[in-house]
Amino acid sequence: MMHIRPWSRMPTQWIADGRIKLLTWKEDKAAGTAALVLFVALCHLAVERAALPRVQTRRVPGTVRSAPARVFSQYAAHLQTMPPRPPVPVQPEHGFVQAALDASGLAAIEERPEGAVDYIAHASYDQLGHLTGLSRKLIAAGLTLLVQQLMIERVGSARSGDYRIQDLEPGYRWAKLPGQALLSAGRTSFEPLTRFDLRSKYALAAMKLYCYYASARDSSTAYSHPSFETSFERTGVAERDIPRANSLLLSVGLLAMYHRPSFAEGDYEDGGDEEGMAILSANRYYMTGYKSFFAKGRGGRPAAAQGST
């Protein structure tokens, strides 16, 4: 049994810069779903540690790229490595954090400021399997994808089981992910994560939307409410697939509920008459465990806690 907090930090840079769009059913199949399932689990397992020197990074404007294969050669003994992908063009305003190589072709090492911290998750393959229900093969494939997209970085030896969550340094935005509310009765697994049919493309779509909904929530609000069009633009999930992916999130238990507000509730995205506003308003998405986002104020009333930075 592991200690899981009510909520944990998830970096959102990988969503903002378009890396989320690189995880596709056509390219990745079940490994893409496994990658995001593992990422959620690792975010919940991560704890603060004193920062160690790390591979230097830079931002590459206009193109999302896989990290150079030689930077990740150290993982070959641990993971079933996948071939690096060719550059994929994205919107000009998007950038991507990529390992910078020096003239010798080796990764440069960046010294960290005094007092800096890293968020490190420690978990063996067996522990990740129990928490997520994934096979060892899918765990290896999912971790490889996360490494290639610079969402995690292995710390220490190839078999240490330590993973740094990338982009949680000061100045980067982050979102809250509910944790304790997802645990099984015995607190041995994240039960909703174990319920996915990994043979379905909608499972990958659902995990992408789940992470995006977390990132799109205002820190003072219990729900997020992006439109289908915005969700497609941010995640690459086709609008026609969103209803089924939402239903899947609800059925496995990652979403507590979602609904379209009535006219009386207000908060519509478009103007017009009552009937028009009811049709054009966006769904409100409440993550299972959303009440954990807020601290109890005086009198037992919920007081807004900081949701993201």
DSSP state string for 51-116: ---EE-EEE-TTEE-PPPGGGGGGGTTTS---PPPPPEE--TT---EEEPB-TTSSBPEEPPPTT-
d(Cα 221, Cα 45) in Å, to the nearest integer?
25
Task: For residues 91-109, give the mean pLDDT.
Answer: 42
DSSP state string for 8-64: EEEE-HHHHTTGGGG--HHHHTHHHHHHHHHHHHHHHH-EEEE---EE-EEE-TTEE
Please provide the distance, in angstroms rounded to a whole number, between the alpha carbons at the two ends of the chain: 30
Q: Which residue has the higher pLDDT, 211 or 302?
A: 211
Nearest to 210, CA basis, from 226, 199, 198:
226
Helix axes 30-45, 125-132, angle to 10 degrees: 100
Q: What does the pLDDT look like over 150-208, one tens digit per residue?
A: 999 999 776 789 999 999 988 899 999 999 999 999 999 999 999 999 999 999 999 99
d(Cα 65, Cα 101) in Å, to the nearest integer?
14
Angle at CA 168, nearest 5°, toward 113 and 93? 105
Q: How far is CA 266 from the centre of its chain?
A: 30
For 106, the token pair is 């080796």
Q: Tally DSSP H helices, then E strands, for the chain.
A: 9, 16
Is the model's pLDDT at 300 over the cut of 60? Answer: no
Nearest to 253, CA basis, from 170, 184, 164, 158:
184
Angle at CA 257, nearest 5°, toward 254 and 261? 145
Extents of the domains making up the chain: 7-304
DSSP-derived letter for residue 253 is: T
Q: Which residue has the higher pLDDT, 257 or 53?
A: 257
DSSP-derived letter for residue 200 is: -
User: Dmax over Cα atoms in the chain, in whole Å?
Assistant: 65
Task: For residues 12-26, give the mean pLDDT.
Answer: 97
d(Cα 99, Cα 107) in Å, to the nearest integer?
7
Position 308 confidence tier, pLDDT thresholds 50, 70, 90: very low
Of 49-58, 92-101, 263-272, minimum mean pLDDT range: 92-101
Nearest to 216, CA basis, from 238, 203, 191, 233:
233
Position 215 confidence tier, pLDDT thresholds 50, 70, 90: very high
Position 117 confidence tier, pLDDT thresholds 50, 70, 90: confident
Sign of the torsion formed by the C-alpha atoms of 91, 255, 249 and 130: positive
d(Cα 258, Cα 287) in Å, to the nearest integer?
9
Pairing of strands 117-122, 57-59: unpaired
Is the model's pLDDT at 41 over the cut of 90? Answer: yes
d(Cα 252, Cα 286) in Å, to the nearest integer?
14
